[in-house]
């Protein structure tokens, strides 16, 4: 057996012929062998974009309210341990290795993916720590995602947009059906997408869940420096804006407060805890502004909807002299859609390949940019670190550097700049 976490992660990647294998039968069988039957409420978070933000805000508020909180998210930026947290502390290498070893001892010849191993290990950690509540972020889709092997007390779909078409379908209605699979009979289901797909509503009705929709059962209203939330049976006024940047974060924050309303009997949360949780929340790589000059912005956005949100946020910033973009993506994503969303906010494109099986090469990105009508300066680099170095050498203190396109992109930028997960 592997001796340390690094060796375990290499081992896990080799235990299934596919990196993604949707379906619950295999993971459910191993879950049963491990006797993983949590006695605490589970909140499951799905959606195309915004899942990480909702998880982070829920974790921050519930922690501020004094609850012991387990939180499982993916992917990670710098270290695998980021994925599994208890009371906002990352799981230790030793704890993760022990969990992986326990899974290996019982699974027999059942093949599990890297993500499925991680999902089971996270629940082992949460049960051993006797948490009061666990927050689980869906990895892909929802209906057949490994986290869905655990029944939730409340489930959220943040929004539905086109992504992962090879697995989920190529229309919003098909994708919505897959994401709605995390909803449960006789439980409250949250949807924070104002343009709610009919397939999601139909599925909620068919299984007998109580669907709360933004703009209907819950809503928010913005003020100059505060905002109000109106739930189905509550009103929270004069709230501070979340510490996470971007106007779209109020959609995410509203979904969080709707969850708290739905679970108020099991997890009562005061206004003080809500305010503290919103102001103290942190999440690397989501329109993250790094202090210093030139200004550096990190955003993991990797699909057109996320890129449009990034574009809106960039438009709201004070103008700068020159905009540099450090850009790298995976080749199975909608690269054209991302480029077109951000074309007006980049003066110089600094392209690099991603050293991963699905990574697009810099020359491939350049071809897409030219086909999209980008006529500005485009430079290619062997590595993302080289692109970052060039940006800092070329930019002056009044310029802006934006890095986006993938979790891989932001991870390498953070390593190149010696940034840490705060």
DSSP state string for 215-251: TTTBEEEE-SS-EEEE-SS-EEEEEPPPSS-STTHHH
pLDDT at 163: 78
304, 275: one domain? no
What proportion of the chain, given as a percentage, has pLDDT over 70?
100
Span 340-365, average pLDDT? 95
Contact 380, 352 (CB under 8 A): yes
Domain containing residue 212: 5-280
Is residue 145 classed as helix, strand or coil in its secondary structure? coil
Question: Which CATH number fits the domain that encloses residue 370?
Answer: 3.90.190.20
275, 310: one domain? no
Q: What Cα–Cα distance (Å) separates residue 106 from each residue in 36, 113, 119, 120, 358?
A: 12, 15, 15, 12, 32
pTM score: 0.96
Alpha carbons 115 and 135: distance in angstroms, whole number = 16
**Looking at the domain assignment, is residue 132 inside a domain?**
yes
Number of structural domains the chain divides into? 2
Question: Which CATH number fits the domain that encloses residue 276?
Answer: 3.40.1190.10
376, 275: one domain? no
Is residue 71 classed as helix, strand or coil in its secondary structure? strand
Say which residue, 53 or 166, is predicted with more confidence. 53
Contact 341, 307 (CB under 8 A): yes
Contacts of 224 (CB under 8 A, 6+ apart): none
Decide if pLDDT at 19 tops 80. Answer: no
Q: Which of 367, 342, 359 is closest to 287 using CA atoms?
A: 342
Q: Are strands 89-90 and 84-86 parallel, antiparallel or unpaired?
A: antiparallel
**Looking at the domain assignment, is residue 73 inside a domain?**
yes
181, 214: one domain? yes
SS3 percent helix, strand, coil of the chain, rounded to 5, is: 40, 20, 40
Question: In this structure, what DSSP letter does residue 282 have?
Answer: -
pLDDT at 304: 94
Decide if pLDDT at 18 tops 80. Answer: no
pLDDT at 168: 80
52, 15: one domain? yes
Supply the Cα-derived Rg of the chain in whole angstroms. 21
pLDDT at 38: 97
243, 267: one domain? yes
Contacts of 250 (CB under 8 A, 6+ apart): 220, 222, 227, 241, 242
When mean pLDDT is compared across 38-42, 169-173, 343-347, the lowest value belongs to 169-173
Domain final position from 225, 257, 280: 280
pLDDT at 23: 86
pLDDT at 166: 79
Mean pLDDT, all residues of the chain: 95
pLDDT tens, position by position, 163-222: 777 778 889 999 999 999 999 999 999 999 999 999 999 999 999 999 999 999 999 999
**Looking at the domain assignment, is residue 63 inside a domain?**
yes
293, 374: one domain? yes
pLDDT at 375: 85
Decide if pLDDT at 364 tops 80. Answer: yes
Span 327-345, average pLDDT? 95
Q: What Cα–Cα distance (Å) separates residue 325 from each residue in 409, 412, 414?
A: 11, 14, 15
Domain final position from 262, 280, 298: 280
pLDDT at 371: 95
Span 284-312, average pLDDT? 94
294, 231: one domain? no
**Looking at the domain assignment, is residue 422 inside a domain?**
no
**Looking at the domain assignment, is residue 208 inside a domain?**
yes
Contacts of 388 (CB under 8 A, 6+ apart): 326, 401, 403, 412, 413, 416, 417
pLDDT at 246: 83
**Looking at the domain assignment, is residue 421 inside a domain?**
no
214, 263: one domain? yes
pLDDT at 327: 98
Alpha carbons 142 and 385: distance in angstroms, whole number = 34
313, 402: one domain? yes
Alpha carbons 406 and 391: distance in angstroms, whole number = 18
Domain final position from 280, 313, 329: 280
**Looking at the domain assignment, is residue 183 inside a domain?**
yes
Give the alpha-carbon dihedral of 64, 65, 70, 74, to 10 degrees: -50
E strands, 138-182, are 154-157
169, 261: one domain? yes
User: H/E element holding 72?
Assistant: strand 69-72
385, 273: one domain? no
pLDDT at 45: 98
């Amino acid at each position: 057996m592997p001796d340390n976490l690094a060796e375990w992660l290499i081992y896990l990647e080799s235990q299934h012929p596919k990196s993604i294998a949707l379906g619950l039968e295999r993971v459910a069988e191993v879950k049963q062998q491990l006797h993983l039957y949590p006695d605490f409420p589970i909140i499951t978070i799905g959606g195309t974009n915004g899942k990480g933000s909702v998880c982070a805000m829920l974790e921050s508020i519930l922690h501020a309210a004094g609850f012991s909180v387990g939180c499982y998210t993916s992917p990670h930026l710098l270290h695998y341990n980021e994925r599994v947290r208890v009371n906002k502390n990352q799981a230790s290498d030793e704890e993760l290795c022990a969990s992986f070893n326990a899974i290996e001892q019982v699974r027999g010849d059942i093949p599990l993916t890297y993500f499925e191993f991680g999902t089971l290990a996270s629940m082992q950690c949460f049960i051993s720590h006797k948490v009061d509540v666990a927050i689980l972020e869906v990895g892909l889709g929802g209906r057949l995602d490994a986290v869905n092997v655990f029944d939730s007390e409340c489930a959220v779909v943040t929004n539905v947009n086109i992504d992962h078409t090879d697995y989920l379908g190529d229309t919003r209605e098909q994708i919505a059906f897959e994401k709605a699979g995390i909803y449960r009979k006789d439980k409250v289901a949250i949807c924070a997408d104002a343009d709610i797909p009919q397939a999601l509503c139909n599925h909620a009705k068919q299984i007998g869940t109580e669907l709360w929709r933004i703009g209907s059962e819950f809503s928010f209203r913005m003020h100059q420096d505060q905002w109000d939330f109106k739930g189905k049976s509550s009103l929270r006024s004069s709230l501070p804006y979340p510490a996470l940047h971007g106007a779209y974060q109020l959609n995410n924050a509203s979904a969080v407060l709707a969850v708290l309303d739905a679970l108020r009997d099991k997890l009562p949360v005061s206004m003080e805890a809500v305010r503290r949780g919103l102001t103290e929340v942190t999440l690397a790589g989501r329109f993250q502004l790094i202090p210093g000059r030139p200004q550096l912005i990190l955003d993991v956005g990797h699909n057109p909807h996320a890129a449009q949100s990034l574009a809106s946020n960039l438009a709201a910033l004070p103008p700068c002299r020159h905009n540099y973009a450090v850009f790298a993506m995976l080749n199975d994503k909608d690269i054209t859609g991302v480029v077109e969303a951000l074309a007006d906010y980049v003066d110089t494109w600094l392209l690099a390949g991603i050293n991963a099986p699905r990574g697009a090469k810099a020359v491939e990105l350049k071809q897409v940019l030219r086909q999209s009508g980008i006529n500005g300066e485009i430079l290619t680099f062997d590595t993302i670190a080289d692109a970052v170095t060039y940006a800092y050498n070329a930019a002056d203190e009044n310029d802006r550097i934006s890095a986006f396109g993938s979790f891989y992109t932001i991870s390498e930028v953070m390593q190149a700049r010696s940034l840490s997960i705060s």
